[in-house]
Structure 1
Amino acid sequence: MDHHVLSLVTISIFFFLTTSPQSHCQEEGTKFSRCSRPDTCGKVSNIYYPFWGQNRPSYCASTEQLKLNCEEPNQQTNFQLDSQNFTVLKIDALYETMRLVRTDIVYDDCSSDLTNTSLSSTVFKYPETVHNITVFYGCPSGFSFGERNFTCKNDRTQFGFYAEMTDGLSAEFPELEQCELRIQVPIFREFLLVSDGGIDSLKEAASRGFDVYYRAADGKRCRTCEESKGFCGSMEISKNQFACHCSDGSEDLECYGYSANHSSS
């Protein structure tokens, strides 16, 4: 082999071996740095794990479902799950709850596009302060349900109504089985105590939002990571693979350098 070519090959190999570890360390250090910074959008602040979006890359989160978007110019925190759109009113990291308002539904627009509010049970759980009410559409002509009736704004000849669905209600009003559409709407339980009926009461209750617990799949591992001065995230978010991002790289559970120093002190 030509001496000049051999020299170039040797230099290339040396450059690769010396720069690759450095590049990898820089990348891992970036994960630690990026995940250590909370996001803020309008009134929602201190957005950490398990969320991502805006300035937090996906490797700072636990699952793809928990992506938050900050909408300009109102600085409004939005959350999308499948075809459902929500505004996030607040996040309480201490109790791991978030307050959501669904924004893609108009309750007196009585169309077939109306859908249940449906959240993944593996990620979310309703607290006892929240329950579902049922909104009925396309019920038999002449059927009335007192003060909780409302007229459809897209067709003034049609109406809907809402109620807390129970076995007793079904038995008392068998006509409900003939309604063309029904959807579930989560609201705070206190709503029915103050409701005086009509579409305005339903809209008011829905605009207050509802709370949900959000559950990171690796809550215990995250606490271990944080105790070792790391920041929780994931290796591959599409596979829900937990990672503890440390100043010197990402680990499966905790920052080992910190643990060693901590245990020897």
Structure 2
Amino acid sequence: MASHTVHLSLFTVLHHSVIFLLLIQIPPCSSSNDSYSNCANPINCGKIRNMSFPFWGGNRPKECGHPLMQLICKNDTSYITIKDVLYQVLEANPDSHTLKITRQDYWIDLCQPTHVSTTLDSQLYVYESLYKNLTLSYDCALFPTYIPCNGVLGGTSVYTQFGSLSPESCKTSVVVPVPLSFMEINSFIQVYHAIKEGFVVRWIIGVEECDKCEKSGGVCGFDSSSQQTCYCREGPCPNFSPDTQASSDQMFM
């Protein structure tokens, strides 16, 4: 009788152990399936539609895009931060991998910008077409060409010039890209609209690798080590090679 009881106890222990081992195997598989389904979702925000890899945000978790490429949706308007500057996304074309963006600080006011010049992360973006630099300088002792902030004479002024050199007599300067056709730098309204028009950038990170991933039935993303990966229905896709460092000359003058 005692022997029978021992056998039953051993059977119960083994039974519970097998169930426990099976249960602890479930989370990784479930997580993989979640990444596959979550990263298949596009970002839709106002007129910005069908944005997927390399972006994340909203219903796309962080593992679905590059860590530095979060799209934020607020009041049906999309925003993205590039090199510490917040931009409003005016247009987006997933097929051509392009964004038309404008600095949010200058969208509001020429005279209270984030005092950081416009630069791109060359591993993530390139300029899609040619632009020229416009330098806006503030708190200058002497400078010949200036425009009054908000068009009000006698108040704070911003000094403008083409190129990216900062005048020595000014405390701070900000460089922004403007269209090649822009010529007038003495008018507040024209400078404001030239900057507000924005510029087009093309994302270059992982484009070819993501195309291969999608053709194989997977969806693109980044793993916990910020390495590009490809999620398949049953987990990371086998034989997937991470993106090599993208390099491209920026088309900028």
Give the TM-score range, shorter chain: 0.7 to 0.9
Instruction: Count how many residue pairs are aligned between Structure 1 and Structure 2.
Output: 234
Q: 1:156 aligns with which of 154, 157, 165?
A: 154
CA-atom RMSD, angstroms?
Answer: 2.8
Q: Name 2:244's counterpart in structure 1.
A: none
Q: Name 1:257's counterpart in structure 2.
A: none
- Greater percentage in helix: 1
| Aligned mates of 2:9, 2:57 — CA distance in 1 | 48
Q: Classify 1:135/1:85 alpha carbon distance in 2 versus 1 (closer, same or farther; 3 Å).
A: same
| Aligned mates of 1:252, 1:92 — CA distance in 2 | 30
Structure 2's unaligned 5+ residue stretches are: 241-253
Aligned residue for 2:140, secondary structure, equals coil
Q: CA deviation at 1:181?
A: 2.1
Structure 1 letter corresponding to 2:144: S
Q: 1:58 aligns with which of 37, 57, 62?
A: 62
1:133-159 alpha-carbon deviations (Å, 9 max, x no partner): 111223334x422xxx21146993542
Q: 1:228 aligns with which of 212, 216, 219?
A: 216
Q: CA deviation at 1:165?
A: 1.6
- Contact 2:87 2:101 (8 Å CA) reproduced: yes
Establish whether residue 165 from structure 1 lines up as the match of residue 153 from structure 2.
no
Q: CA deviation at 1:196?
A: 6.7
TM-score scaled by structure 1? 0.77
Percent identity between the two aligned chains? 25
Structure 2 letter corresponding to 1:183: V
Q: CA deviation at 1:201?
A: 1.0
The more displaced of 224-233 and 151-160 is: 151-160
Q: CA deviation at 1:96?
A: 1.3
Aligned residue for 2:57, secondary structure, equals coil
Q: Name 2:102's counterpart in structure 1.
A: 101
| Aligned mates of 2:159, 2:210 — CA distance in 1 | 45
Q: Name 1:33's counterpart in structure 2.
A: 37
TM-score scaled by structure 2? 0.80
| Aligned mates of 1:253, 1:206 — CA distance in 2 | 45
Structure 1's unaligned 5+ residue stretches are: 255-265
Structure 2 letter corresponding to 1:56: R
| Aligned mates of 1:3, 1:88 — CA distance in 2 | 69
Q: Classify 1:230/1:181 alpha carbon distance in 2 versus 1 (closer, same or farther; 3 Å).
A: same
Structure 1 letter corresponding to 2:51: I
